[in-house]
């Protein structure tokens, strides 16, 4: 048995996958080290740190949603001075200048004169119960706006963390596909070489080519998803992130404290910001009922005024008198009949209070469910991370075993490709599971209303800013011509003929992803083409076997070769289980007695 030495791919695949997903500099376009000291320290071109904490602090300044919430909170704070003003004295000034013309027939008289003057008016509220209730509502509205601002800031922290880890996850997907593409390219080149020398069939080459094309298509989709995730982070920080700090290789993921779900649920039902906002709305609606009922009560005000009028002539004389007047008193207003307006407003306020009560209950249930969901995500996420770590070791062992089996001939090309893909996908899923655990921990604290900058700093401590990764920019044109003709055409090498041209092979597969450079496959050492044996003619053997079955079912002619080299046939009785069969053909079964084989043509 002649064996052809195959180049070992175990080292190539393991080196590619390990460098791509664990060490990160798998290719020069995605994780290359830069000589810029700012980038080496995790600082971007704009002078800000590109880790999670730096991006979060930058979002606190540049996020438009948070800026809008701040402006709304500042506007809501003015509700209290406005409500208090209705309880304070109101002093106003007035001025006048009139031109009068007077004419009388009996007695006949006419005159023209003008009057000008001014005054002060003072109103002091003494008893206005509606205004006091409105002041309490304004204070509750300010507290509600503060809770809304805190909730928005908490949502910004979550959006930053989600967008940050989404970029890392999308990049891990691209890196996984690039590593799988490189390993598949090596397998494709080896399959072509083995097909050319005659040790393998075209099936292995077609399988590797199909897998390579599939990964190339998936790589383009993953690259587009990475650019979309990058844009989502850009919306928050108002700039294009060039580098980001990745997660450490072996981060320490701790379970939530306390390790009981009930305290987290209770904290969410009482202290979460949505519950605080809904509770404020309910209190405001309750006071609105009292304010509308106070409309039945009378109001008491102290009013006073002082006026000065100067006349330039009068109706009957030419004198210019000056008149000064002043007044002070108590004004009482009692609503007697308003056409049912007050009763309608009371009923409306009661209905709105019921609505606020139901909204408060919905907020409590939602907060409790969010706490349970996040707590479950952390616990089961930790279990998933532990399982995927074991699966990564198993997948690496499986790949090495499959490589060894392929070298000795007990595994095929497709098995190696599947093992490589499984290892790369397991490493990608492991990183994604770690991201999900960290995000679930942040969501748990957000559900309880306790998410602060210190929590973001704790997650940021698990990153590795010393080895930043680059994030690709949007290419100007992402349309490329096909790299090969479809469908694939591979011509088996013909027999050696003097003067015949050498068979053409495909060029080495290269990556078409911007920013990713696939190293070309190493050219193997020259291998002398092996002579392929002519296919064995199995037709006459089958016909001879069928003819023997037809002529003598029990007496089988077994061909034997004499010393002179002449084939002689001897009649002997041979059991059916020891009948000679053609090589690599299925066993022929005895046909029914009702069907006879046709005689073979001479």
In Å, what is the CA distance from 361 to each residue of 42, 347, 443? 45, 22, 21
514: pLDDT confidence band, cut at 50, 70 and 90? very low
Structural domain of 150: 10-73+146-252+392-470
Phi first, then psi: what are they for 178, rounded to 5°? -65, -45
Among residues 184, 174, 173, 186, which one has the least CA distance to residue 214?
A: 184
Percent pLDDT > 70 in the chain is 69
Percent pLDDT > 90 in the chain is 46
Domain count across the chain: 1
In Å, what is the CA distance from 67 to each residue of 236, 239, 276, 282, 505? 11, 16, 21, 27, 61
Average pLDDT of the residues in 298-304: 94
- CA 583/CA 103 separation, integer angstroms: 141
Q: Yes or no: say if 468 and 39 are a contact pair by the CB < 8 Å rule.
A: yes
- CA 172/CA 21 separation, integer angstroms: 7
pLDDT at 292: 94
Q: Is residue 434 part of a domain?
A: yes
Q: Yes or no: say if 448 and 261 are a contact pair by the CB < 8 Å rule.
A: no
Helix axis angle, 341-408 relative to 10-18, nearest 10°? 160
DSSP-derived 3-state class of residue 191: helix
pLDDT, tens digit, for every residue of 343-383? Answer: 999 999 999 999 999 999 999 999 999 999 999 999 999 99
Q: Is residue 453 part of a domain?
A: yes
Q: Yes or no: say if 271 and 381 are a contact pair by the CB < 8 Å rule.
A: no
Q: Is the pLDDT of residue 392 over 60?
A: yes
Average pLDDT of the residues in 207-220: 90
pLDDT at 464: 86
Selection from 273-287, 492-506, 551-565 with the highest mean pLDDT: 273-287
Give me 427's structure tokens. Answer: 């490493």
Q: Is residue 202 part of a domain?
A: yes
600: pLDDT confidence band, cut at 50, 70 and 90? very low
- CA 192/CA 205 separation, integer angstroms: 6
Residue with the bigger pLDDT between 266 and 309: it is 266
Residue with the bigger pLDDT between 389 and 541: it is 389
Average pLDDT of the residues in 288-305: 94
CATH number where 63 lies: 1.20.1600.10
pLDDT at 317: 66
- CA 504/CA 492 separation, integer angstroms: 10
pLDDT at 499: 44
pLDDT at 239: 87
pLDDT at 273: 95
Average pLDDT of the residues in 135-152: 95
Residues whose CB is less than 8 angstroms from the CB of residue 64 and which lie 6 or more positions away in sequence, other chains included: 238
Q: Is the pLDDT of residue 582 over 60?
A: no
Residue with the bigger pLDDT between 389 and 515: it is 389
Q: Is residue 332 part of a domain?
A: no
Q: What are 558's strand-pairing partners?
A: 570
Q: Is residue 295 classed exposed, middle or buried when 0-12, 13-18 and 19+ CB atoms within 10 A define those classes?
A: middle
pLDDT at 82: 95
Q: Is residue 240 part of a domain?
A: yes
Q: Is residue 4 part of a domain?
A: no
The pTM (predicted TM-score) of the whole model is 0.67
Q: Is residue 214 part of a domain?
A: yes
Residue with the bigger pLDDT between 186 and 103: it is 186
Q: Among 188-197, 318-327, 349-358, 577-586, name the one with the lowest average pLDDT.
A: 577-586
DSSP string, 515-545: T--PPPPPPPPP-PPPPPPPPP--HHHHHHH
Considering all CA atoms of the chain, what is the largest pairwise distance in Å, rounded to the nearest integer?
Answer: 173
Cβ count near 212 (within 10 Å) = 20
- CA 340/CA 327 separation, integer angstroms: 36
Q: Yes or no: say if 233 and 55 are a contact pair by the CB < 8 Å rule.
A: yes
pLDDT, tens digit, for every residue of 66-76? Answer: 999 999 999 99
pLDDT, tens digit, for every residue of 522-558? Answer: 444 443 444 444 444 444 544 554 455 455 444 434 4
Residues whose CB is less than 8 angstroms from the CB of residue 169 and which lie 6 or more positions away in sequence, other chains included: 229, 431, 432, 435
Q: Is the pLDDT of residue 416 over 80?
A: yes
- CA 83/CA 125 separation, integer angstroms: 13
DSSP string, 225-239: HHHHHHHHHHHHHTS
pLDDT, tens digit, for every residue of 84-119? Answer: 999 999 999 999 888 877 777 777 777 777 888 899
pLDDT, tens digit, for every residue of 15-68? Answer: 444 444 433 333 333 333 333 444 344 455 444 568 899 999 999 999 999 999
pLDDT at 543: 53
Average pLDDT of the residues in 173-186: 86
pLDDT at 1: 41
Residues whose CB is less than 8 angstroms from the CB of residue 596 and which lie 6 or more positions away in sequence, other chains included: 550
Among residues 310, 318, 316, which one has the least CA distance to residue 103?
A: 316
Give me 429's structure tokens. Answer: 């899923």
- CA 506/CA 41 separation, integer angstroms: 44
pLDDT at 149: 95
Average pLDDT of the residues in 285-296: 94
411: pLDDT confidence band, cut at 50, 70 and 90? confident
Q: Is residue 54 part of a domain?
A: yes
- CA 281/CA 589 separation, integer angstroms: 87
Give me 513's structure tokens. Answer: 């992803």
* HSE-up (13 A, CA, CB side) for residue 29: 16
In Å, what is the CA distance from 518 to each residue of 171, 182, 218? 16, 7, 16
Q: Is the pLDDT of residue 590 over 90?
A: no
pLDDT at 309: 86
pLDDT at 547: 55
Q: Is the pLDDT of residue 494 over 70?
A: no
Give me 124's structure tokens. Answer: 């002091």
- CA 158/CA 56 separation, integer angstroms: 9
């Amino acid at each position: 048995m002649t064996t052809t030495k195959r180049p070992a791919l175990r080292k190539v695949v393991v080196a590619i996958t390990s460098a791509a997903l664990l060490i990160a500099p798998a290719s020069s376009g995605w994780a290359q080290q830069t000589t810029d000291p700012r980038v080496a320290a995790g600082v971007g071109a704009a002078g800000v740190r590109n880790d999670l904490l730096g991006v979060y602090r930058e979002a606190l300044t540049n996020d438009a949603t948070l800026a809008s919430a701040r402006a709304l909170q500042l506007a809501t704070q003015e509700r209290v001075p406005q409500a208090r003003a209705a309880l304070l004295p109101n002093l106003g000034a007035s001025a006048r200048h009139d031109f009068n013309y007077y004419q009388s027939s009996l007695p006949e008289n006419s005159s023209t004169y003008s009057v000008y003057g001014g005054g002060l008016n003072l109103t002091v509220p003494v008893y206005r119960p509606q205004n006091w209730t409105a002041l309490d509502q304004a204070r509750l509205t300010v507290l509600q706006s503060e809770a809304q601002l805190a909730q928005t800031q908490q949502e910004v922290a979550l959006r930053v963390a989600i967008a940050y880890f989404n970029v890392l996850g999308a990049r891990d997907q691209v890196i996984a596909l690039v590593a799988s593409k490189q390993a598949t390219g090596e397998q494709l080149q080896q399959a072509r070489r083995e097909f050319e020398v005659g040790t393998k069939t075209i099936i292995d080459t077609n399988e590797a080519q199909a897998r390579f094309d599939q990964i190339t298509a998936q790589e383009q989709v993953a690259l587009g998803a990475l650019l979309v995730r990058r844009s989502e982070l850009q919306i928050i920080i108002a700039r294009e992130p060039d580098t980001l700090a990745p997660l450490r290789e072996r981060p320490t993921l701790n379970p939530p404290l306390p390790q009981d779900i009930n305290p987290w649920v209770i904290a969410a039902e009482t202290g979460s910001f949505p519950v605080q906002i809904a509770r404020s709305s309910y209190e405001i609606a309750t006071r609105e009922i009292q304010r509308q009922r106070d409309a039945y009560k009378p109001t008491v005000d102290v009013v006073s005024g002082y006026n000065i009028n100067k006349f330039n002539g009068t109706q009957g004389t030419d004198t210019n008198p000056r008149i000064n007047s002043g007044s002070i008193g108590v004004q009482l207003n009692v609503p007697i009949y308003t056409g049912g307006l007050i009763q309608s407003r009371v009923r409306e306020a009661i209905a709105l209070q019921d609505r606020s009560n139901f909204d408060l209950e919905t907020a409590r249930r939602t907060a409790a469910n969010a706490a349970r969901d996040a707590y479950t995500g952390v616990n089961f996420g930790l279990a998933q991370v532990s399982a995927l770590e074991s699966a990564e070791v198993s997948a690496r062992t499986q790949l090495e075993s499959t490589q060894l089996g392929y070298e000795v001939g007990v595994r095929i090309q497709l098995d190696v490709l599947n093992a490589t893909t499984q290892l790369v996908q397991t490493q990608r899923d492991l990183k994604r599971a770690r991201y999900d655990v960290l995000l679930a921990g942040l969501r748990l604290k957000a559900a309880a209303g306790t998410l602060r900058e210190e929590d973001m700093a704790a997650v940021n401590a698990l990153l590795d800013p010393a080895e930043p990764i680059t994030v690709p920019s949007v290419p100007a044109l992402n349309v490329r011509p096909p790299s090969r003709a479809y469908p694939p055409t591979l011509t088996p090498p013909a027999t050696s003929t003097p003067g015949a041209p050498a068979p053409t092979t495909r060029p080495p597969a290269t990556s078409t992803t911007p920013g990713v450079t696939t190293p070309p496959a190493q050219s193997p050492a020259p291998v002398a083409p092996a002579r392929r044996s002519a296919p064995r003619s199995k037709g006459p053997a089958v016909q001879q076997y069928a003819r023997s079955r037809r002529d003598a079912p029990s007496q089988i002619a077994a061909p034997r070769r004499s010393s002179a080299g002449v084939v002689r046939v001897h009649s002997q009785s041979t059991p059916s289980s020891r009948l000679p069969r053609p090589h690599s053909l299925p066993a022929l079964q005895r046909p029914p007695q009702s069907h006879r084989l046709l005689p073979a043509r001479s």
